Amino acid sequence: MTYQELIERMDPSVYRSLRQAVELGKWPDGRVLSEEQRELCMEAVLYYESQHIPEDQRVGYIDRTKSDGSTCGPDDDASPIRIMN
């Protein structure tokens, strides 16, 4: 079984546990995650979310809709600035 297949078969409770571990920086039993563990858990969480979680509920989602319901573009309300010495 590959890493990708393992994540595809991941149980939602395991996903929630991994996500919480990444958020808190420690396992449910209190042990601190190593940097490598944190990276692997984050990768698993992001991949799981891309397959099973609606986009607006994923880690890092930014709501780009305005109050009137239209979508913000990357340059909305952008104005150049001049730096004077």
Q: Is residue 49 part of a domain?
A: yes
What pLDDT sits at residue 71? 64
Average pLDDT over residues 14-28: 95
Domain count, the chain: 1
pLDDT of 41 above 80? yes
Q: Which domain holds residue 8?
A: 3-57
Banded model confidence at residue 69, pLDDT cuts 50, 70, 90: low
Q: Is residue 80 part of a domain?
A: no
**b/e sequence 31-61, b meaning 16+ C-beta within 10 Å:** eebeeebeeebbebbbbbbeeebeeeeeeee
Percent of the chain topping pLDDT 90: 46
64 closest CA partner among 74, 76, 52, 72? 72
Q: List, in order, residues 6 or more apart from 70 with CB less than 8 Å away.
A: none
10 closest CA partner among 55, 36, 40, 39? 40
